[in-house]
Chains A and B, each alone.
Chain A
Amino acid sequence: MKELLTGNEAVARGAYEYGITIAAAYPGTPSTEILENIAPYDEIYAEWSPNEKVALEVALGAAFAGARSLAAMKHVGLNVAADPMFTSAYTGVNGAFIIMTADDPGMHSSQDEQDNRYYAKFAKIPMLEPSDSQECKEFVGEAVRISEEFDTPVILRLTTRISHSKSLVELGERESVPMKSYKRNAPKYVTIPGNSKVLRVKLEDRLKKLKEYSEKSPLNRIEWGDKKIGIVTSSVSYQYAREVMGDSASYLKLGMTYPLPDELIKEFASQVEEVYVVEELEPYLEEHLKALGIKCHGKDLIPIVGELNPEIVAKGLLGKEPETIKVSIKPAARPPLMCPGCPHRGVFFVLSNKDAVVTGDIGCYTLGSQEPLSAMDTTICMGASVSNGHGFQKAFEKNGINKKVFSVIGDSTFFHSGMTGLLDIAYNKGNSTLIILDNRITAMTGQQENPGTGYTLKGEPTFQADLAKICNAMGIEKVREVNSLDLEQVEAAIDEAMNTTDPMVIIAKAPCALLKREKQPEGKSRIDVDICLQCGLCLQLGCPAIYRDENDNIIIDEYQCNGCTLCQQVCEFDAIETIM
């Protein structure tokens, strides 16, 4: 039976069919749906871990125990998980161990577009790159075989277009495999220097064998067409090249991109007149070909920045520009913005009127940096708001500058890697204020559970981590809990923070406006046009439901409004009321 599946759904299906029993991840676009689609299988234990490092370590532990396991994350998540990943190349595995990374060329929903193929080479871990959903499923099986045969972790690298494109997948049966037996084996699993020195040598030996395997693996194949042009490619770039060039070129389609098959590459290059490398992001393959002494075109024709598509590849290879329809009017930009009723909005509205530095973090609330709120100074990576803020505060203090510092982080991001920063503030006598935007869910990636929500990935009720108690236990005495949708409470807590010399935490709590299981505000807000003076203060909230109509009157779109009442609270003329 064939089904139309996304790459992420196909990986989940692969996990089921190829006997995986343990899967762990932290959500992150474009990888999130891998675990969401594994979760319904009773045969697989699946968890949202608090962060990617934990997820990778959980899956690695399971593989040591003898189970087939998988850890999934977005490209930058692998930075967090890099530490255990590097050492896992030394120890090898027992049951199969797959590391899924989903890169985001074009940065559709990410802070950078790092090319994680270099991690495979850096950590000396074999890497597979599927080019459609069918391959996503099959490559899970191939990764399982390679992992167990060569005693190694295997990286399976997807990109946004692989993860989120649907194509047809032939479904199969689950291969039930008994767990391998586990025996204590300190020389293999305990990486004290004496053991690691031995493992280091074994790792090089394993790579030689993997290179031989890569030469004859069916994952690396030549598709002959016209031999004037030979294209070396992998992942979704293969599809773009195929789309553009059809049979007017030959292809070396690489499914296993570390270690690369040198002899196969040389053979292919020797039989075509000119070699072109078509790859997204960095010249990973091109550098390798050039190191082999093969003359080729690559980043001289194909951009290094951003996501590719058939148009870009056609321009690079054929110098062809598309014929398009020209229109004389231009659309206004439509950037993403916080939803109507978003509980983050009011906190940023209050912060936007304070003379303070606000370090931000990764989540929907990063949109607080955008107009009209414009209330954020920095965003770097998960958890960085807390420690960045501490750094700002210490720099100001040491150099005699009197300026308040706030750090703003979401609940899930705080559990991910904000907690250690807070411990630092308490331990090293900082006095910045941390605002935890507790919207009761991991929102940006599409409503995933976390340690504070009271539910697991499988939907089972569980222990609910208490943010206030955690902050107290870390040494923060001033912890204030406020309702994010009550501007008076928010303002009072932020004013207290502005005037304190102690470290402080404000937990601003209200459910994400998209979270159905929590109680949401009732009614809609409506502007009384007879009272409204058109001052525009409510527009400064940046709510998608409030705008000026064609007659320049400010109106509230009742279909979009979710009744949070923030606009009523900021209106100085009582011109906005709730209608039921």
Chain B
Amino acid sequence: MSDTKSILLVGVGGQGTILASRVLTKGLVAAGYDVKMSEIHGMSQRGGSVSTQIRFGEKVYSPIIGRGTADAIVAFEQMEALRYTDFLKTDGMMVINDYKQPSLPIMIGDAEYPDGIIDELSSKVKTVVFDAADVANNLGNLKVQNIVLLGALIKVMGLDNLDWEAIISREVPAKFKDMNIEAYHKGLELAS
């Protein structure tokens, strides 16, 4: 379906893309979209490369996509942004967390962490890049970095007309509500 939009959230197992994708899908369902989401569990979660796929539109068939078809990618880690670039549409958008986590072959000296990822990607596609941990720490809690990234995604997807404050309020513990809403607005701002 041509009106169906596809989003990829990619990162390293354990980085916790779960809350961001839950908030996103709840918001899309509340807005009346048909929504499908797919993720992989099990061994790949143990520090491996992980991806969550979210699709929404009037009627969604496939829960997953192939290469060249994502409207936006949110990468929680630089090298993972690079790994999934070929899933992006040629006119797609990328939100990249300016964070590097070496993988096992790099740690034991069999490979090197590639240089210049941000420059390379920014020369090929539209990117929004920021250090989400830094932004989150300034807001007072590292854990809200997911919501900062989510805010940026919502902006680049043009979904900021939906009532995300209400969704976030329902999905996060009450005592972190204000901080998460602030994080969401910070994300919007960074992608503007």
Q: Using CB atoms and an 8 Å cutoff, list the residues of chain A in contact with chain B.
A: 2, 4, 29-30, 32-33, 108-109, 132, 160-161, 164-168, 236, 239-240, 242-243, 246, 309-312, 314, 322-339, 364, 366-367, 370-372, 444-446, 536, 539-540, 542, 544, 546-548
Contacts and interface: CB of A to CB of B under 8 A. Distances in A.
Nearest to B104: A337
Interface in B76-131: 79-80, 82-83, 85-88, 90, 92, 102-117, 120-121, 124-125
Nearest to A328: B120
Nearest to A245: B61
Given A334-B83, A336-B44, 20 more contacts: A108-B41, A109-B44, A161-B38, A164-B39, A166-B35, A167-B34, A239-B62, A309-B65, A310-B64, A311-B67, A325-B85, A325-B125, A329-B120, A332-B113, A338-B47, A339-B14, A367-B46, A444-B46, A445-B42, A547-B102
A334 B104 contact: yes
22 contacts: A160-B40, A161-B38, A164-B40, A167-B63, A236-B62, A242-B61, A309-B64, A310-B65, A311-B69, A324-B68, A324-B90, A325-B68, A325-B86, A325-B92, A327-B85, A327-B120, A332-B105, A334-B49, A336-B45, A337-B47, A364-B46, A542-B108
Contacts of B108: 371-372, 539-540, 542
B67 A324 contact: yes
B5 interface: no
Interface residues of B, number: 63
B37 interface: yes
Given A108-B44, A334-B12, A548 B116 contact: no
B94 to A, nearest CB: 10
B25 A166 contact: yes
A240 B38 contact: no
B62 A310 contact: yes
Contact of B29 (A4, A239, A367): A4
Contacts of A165: 36-38, 63-64
A168 B34 contact: yes
A273 B166 CA distance: 52
Nearest to B68: A322
Contacts of A331: 79-80, 82-83, 114
B48 interface: yes
B38 A329 contact: no
Contacts of A309: 62, 64-66
Contacts of B90: 323-325
B43 interface: yes
Contacts of A4: 25-26, 29, 35, 37
Contacts of A32: 41
- Counting chain B CB atoms within 10 Å of each CB, the highest count among A132, A160, A329, A445 belongs to A329
B1 interface: yes
Contacts of B67: 311, 322, 324
Contacts of A323: 68, 90
A109 B43 contact: yes
Nearest to B46: A336
Contact of B104 (A166, A239, A335, A364): A335
Nearest to B81: A331
A370 B103 CA distance: 13
A413 to B, nearest CB: 14
Contact of B107 (A108, A328, A364, A547): A547
A167 B112 CA distance: 40
Given A29-B43, A312-B66, A333 B107 contact: no
B38 to A, nearest CB: 4
A242 B55 CA distance: 15
A246 to B, nearest CB: 7
Contacts of A166: 25, 35-38, 63
A335 B48 contact: yes
B42 A239 contact: no
A336 B105 contact: no
A336 B13 contact: yes
A548 B109 contact: yes
A539 B103 CA distance: 12
A321 to B, nearest CB: 9
B83 A164 contact: no
B63 A339 contact: no
Contacts of A243: 1, 61-62
A311 B89 CA distance: 13
Nearest to A362: B43
A109 B14 CA distance: 16
A450 B114 CA distance: 43
Contacts of B82: 327, 329-331
A370 B104 CA distance: 10
Interface string B8-41: 0000111000000000011001000011111111
A478 to B, nearest CB: 32
A495 B105 CA distance: 30
Contact of A161 (B63, B92, B104): B63
A164 B26 contact: no
Contacts of B42: 29-30, 108-109, 444-445
